[in-house]
Structure 1
């Protein structure tokens, strides 16, 4: 029996969240069509039907969205025709999709990634929707949902934190203590290696190079603070800045403790090594829990915040990407689409979704959380305690810059983590192509 045939992870498919390799051009093949295309193409509008473009092709999110749309239909009498495409293809094809005849409502991401399409005029404002749903959200979420012009273009559904995950039973068996500082973290990694473990699970092979961004972001947030990190992401400071150089210096300290062969391994295989207790820790998102079908193992998964590096910044920033919905620029059933968005932004929709998918957290403060498992409750506390919330490098920055410049630079450097200055100089040489002065 091969390892893949015995794993307790859910059936493998496209990664949970892939970096947009082709955000600004045509994408790869969709599941059942050459490109991501809208339901019904250019057909005349049906006043009783809302079309919905979804990137939730994996089994769990697909079932969760089905529960949400079914409830909306029961409440409104409007049918939702869902066009589901795998996560990676959805992102790669999104620009051509939106420039064509997209679905009325489509899944997307908060922050910079939403703002890009808002500036391009490829989505419609939803201020009227926020007049209905706004009381359920805090200011931080509202900020993530507005374009640079102050207009709302996004309706949030859930978020999820990144942290350092581990198995509780392994820590108990080996007598490991949760580290709070960088020195404690590196000492624990050294001890794990001595104990015969791969201290830090890692897999960024193939299309999974995005996974290294979680480590980069946290190192920068902890060493240099949220403000500098956001300036770096927005192209406002040089990548050869001494503070960025320090990030790679810190990263180099733990590269001997990262799982070997990471460049040829998927993030799912890295996660599996954590589940199998072959690795001690993994810097990853809560979506790790979505992949686990064995409830005993799920109950044994725990996490701790990425350790403190500089006491001036402590652990005050949390990486918590926010997913939700947008309205296409010319929806065929605009009235129905806006009603659908009002429903999606309400507590009921979030409760239905989270009831099926335990790897996410509701962002509407009015949503009931009684069904949350232990990981969800702890995740909500982590996000709730954060002074700053970042999205993820490819969501906080120009995704083309991240996918074509930063990621190749970082993964190449990780293969031979010696000359960080040269790697940062190569990244910096391309910054002006993506960010105006």
Structure 2
């Protein structure tokens, strides 16, 4: 299996991004500036329909060390099983996601890493993806109805083959909390009381990092769902509810109670930076997805990590869990390569997901029959949290219109973190314009 590193890409406003601040820059401007397009780092055009190719190209935005190694384990296992060669093109995470629009319209890889929810449906509706109903005929029995629904496009066809999902919650070090006498909070008031005690102890209570723009969305989503419920989250991100109403203002007003306890250096650090601060016991807890544990390479530290769901705020309780689903898609050009379809089918099997999970233990396999015998106590808690949730949200930037999430909400949330102010009327005005243009 070959692995290639893709070049750095400038951001553009045409497509959705995740894990970065998106600057609006047209494709023409990128070309004029002499910046290479993301498509240039791929393995070339996909075979034509009906191809009997014995190879495929795989575009991966999983560039961090652990998931990158995990996907290599998957492609190696697939090659050994099928005899098909996989040329993997690894592109830096933020670059891949911010350039996905030009990537898919250029010369994309046959298959590539992506997400469930609106962010998959958006490109399916644009005709840039190949449906994989034939693959689902083989693997459909391996997934729950909820997973299948999240993998379905707006036309009712199947597009995503899920690999894993992961819950968001507050992660902390058990030994540190025991030493300090801290207890897991069940309500928002208990959370702020605990945070105040941590601050008095000279600790940054809540680890926070929003240099890349997307992490703050998790805090917004949870406060919104705890105050207003899962359905309001879905309707708001679909713009069936307006942004300039009291329910949204209440989310920010509630969040203001946490601002004094969140890391004041948030806008200057990445999620990996904040993970290291939690490891070093500089922060008391950290709201992020379970992928945070990829950063804890010391087995002793990893065994010391625990988490709890975002506490109850109002009558909505804690029924909703933020647990995004990641998996693989086929580009439109890759749809004619049977080897690529076979690769997706492998990813949708216990064998494929076990190969991934053997390297990356931070996520939860989505396929039935996956080997859970080696799950740690934390893995089991993560899996149970997802399994017991009444509602599972994807994430603001996966449930909303890409331009709304990235061009509007990222700068708005970063501004709010900086000075505690937000203009919900402006959010609504931009939402009206963007959604009307679709």
TM-score, structure 1 normalization: 0.90
- Residues 46, 333 of structure 1: 8 Å contact kept: no
- What are the equivalent positions in structure 2 for 1:19-58 lying under 5 Å apart? 19=20, 21=22, 26=27, 34-37=37-40, 39-42=42-45, 47-58=53-64
Q: Cα distance 1:309–1:47, how it changes in 2: closer, same or farther (>3 A)? A: same
Q: Distance in 2 between matches of 1:24 and 1:160?
A: 32
Per the alignment, residue 148 of structure 2 pairs with 142
Note if 1:252 corresponds to 2:256: yes
Per the alignment, residue 102 of structure 2 pairs with 96
- Residues 409, 424 of structure 1: 8 Å contact kept: no
Range with bigger deviation, 100-109 or 121-130: 100-109
- What are the equivalent positions in structure 2 for 1:302-381 lying under 5 Å apart? 302-311=306-315, 313-331=316-334, 334-381=337-384
Per the alignment, residue 194 of structure 1 pairs with 200
Per the alignment, residue 6 of structure 1 pairs with none
Q: Cα distance 1:79–1:33, how it changes in 2: closer, same or farther (>3 A)? A: farther
Q: Distance in 1 between matches of 2:46 and 2:350?
A: 33
Q: Distance in 1 between matches of 2:78 and 2:55?
A: 11
Q: Distance in 2 between matches of 1:296 and 1:75?
A: 35
Structure 1 gaps of 5+ residues are 1-12
- Which secondary structure does the structure 1 equivalent of 2:40 belong to? coil
Number of residues of Structure 1 aligned to a counterpart in Structure 2:
416
Per the alignment, residue 426 of structure 1 pairs with 426
Per the alignment, residue 220 of structure 1 pairs with 224
Per the alignment, residue 159 of structure 2 pairs with 153
Deviation at 1:38, TM superposition (A): 5.7
Q: Distance in 2 between matches of 1:43 and 1:308?
A: 49
Deviation at 1:269, TM superposition (A): 2.1
Range with bigger deviation, 343-352 or 86-95: 86-95
Note if 1:295 corresponds to 2:291: no
Deviations 1:37-90 (A, max 9, x none): 364324867711111111122221121111111111121121111111111111
- Which secondary structure does the structure 1 equivalent of 2:159 belong to? coil
- Residues 335, 341 of structure 2: 8 Å contact kept: no
Per the alignment, residue 134 of structure 2 pairs with 128
TM-score, structure 2 normalization: 0.90
Structure 2 gaps of 5+ residues are 1-7, 10-16
- Which secondary structure does the structure 2 equivalent of 1:80 belong to? strand
Instruction: State the superposition RMSD in angstroms.
Output: 2.3
Per the alignment, residue 414 of structure 1 pairs with 417
- Residues 204, 284 of structure 2: 8 Å contact kept: yes
Per the alignment, residue 3 of structure 2 pairs with none
* Runs of at least 4 residues off by over 4 Å: 22-29, 43-46
